Structure formats: C-alpha cells, structure tokens
C-alpha cells in the first residue's frame, strides 16, 4: 500500500468519523434539552424532535462526501501522492467542519427547545438560527465535491 493510498483512506476515515461524531454529539445535546422541556410542556414534542434531529445532517454530509470521493477514486488506476493529499485535505476539512457545526447546531437547537418548553413561540426563529452552523457544513461538502472533481 502506497503513502498516497494511506493518505486517501485516512482522509475518508476522518471525513466520515468526525462528521458522524459531530452529529452524534449534536443530536444528544438536543435530546437532553428535549427531555428537560418535556417536563414543562409535553404538547410540543414534535417541535422538540425536529430541532433535536437537525444536527444529524452533518453525519450525512460526511457519508455523502465518502461516496463522491470513493466514486472518483474508483476511476483512478494509480493514485499519486498529490491526489492522496487532496483526499486527506478534503476529509479533514469536511470532518472538522461537520464535527464542530454539529455540536454548535445542537447547542442552538437546545436553547430553542428550552424556550419552547418554557412557553415561548421560538420554533421558527430557532430553525433559522440553527441553519447558520449548517451552512458551513454545506460549504465544506461543496469543497469536497470540487476537490473530487480535481482528482
């Protein structure tokens, strides 16, 4: 196995692993807030559930990035060190952005869930604000797509 292949697989592993960890942490933060809010207001469970699930998308971006990169790698007969480095960079970027944006989106969602549980009508505003961290995950996913096109 060459250094280029090792770099590429490390990048893919970081892409999937870190983005998935970010989603797991983010949805857990939202889930904890939901359990607390249910004690105050059971009627809004649907809103809590939607907000809690939002950070789950970062893991999906990591998984989709894997398919894009893997599909491109299957077309390459011999991977160069530059191509392996490009895959590593794409994986690191998407993985780190997915990790941090998933956690931060979970925090934004949790605060909205707490507000809804306390009787405030903040579902729509929370959805808008929770999308902001997601935008950076989308940008990192788009960068992964562009990097794969350059392989």
Q: Left, alpha or beta for 120 (phi > 0: left; psi -120 to 50: alpha)?
A: beta
With a cut of 80, say whether residue 65 has pLDDT above it. yes
**pLDDT tens string 66-82:** 999 999 999 999 999 99
The stretch 141-147 carries a mean pLDDT of: 97
With a cut of 90, say whether residue 1 has pLDDT above it. no
56: three-class secondary structure by DSSP: helix
Please report the sign of the dihedral spanned by the C-alpha atoms of residue 90, residue 104, residue 47, residue 56.
Answer: positive
Dist. CA 81–CA 70, nearest whole Å: 16
Record the pTM: 0.93
**pLDDT tens string 113-135:** 999 999 999 999 999 999 999 99
Model pLDDT, residue 75: 95
Dist. CA 103–CA 19, nearest whole Å: 10
Mean pLDDT score of the chain: 97
26: three-class secondary structure by DSSP: helix
């Amino acid at each position: 196995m060459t250094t280029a292949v090792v770099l590429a697989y490390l990048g893919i592993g970081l892409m999937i692993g870190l983005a998935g960890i970010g989603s797991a942490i983010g949805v857990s933060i939202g889930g904890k807030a939901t359990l607390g809010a249910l004690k105050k207001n059971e009627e809004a469970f649907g809103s809590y559930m939607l907000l809690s699930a939002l950070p789950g998308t970062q893991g999906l971006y990591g998984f989709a990035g894997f398919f894009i990169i893997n599909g491109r790698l299957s077309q390459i007969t011999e991977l160069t060190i530059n191509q392996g480095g490009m895959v590593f960079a794409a994986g690191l970027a998407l993985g780190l952005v997915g990790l941090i944006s998933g956690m931060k989106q979970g925090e934004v969602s949790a605060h909205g869930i707490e507000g809804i549980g306390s009787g405030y009508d903040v579902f729509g505003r929370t959805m808008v604000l929770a999308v902001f961290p997601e935008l950076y995950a989308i940008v990192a996913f788009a960068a992964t797509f562009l990097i794969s096109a350059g392989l």
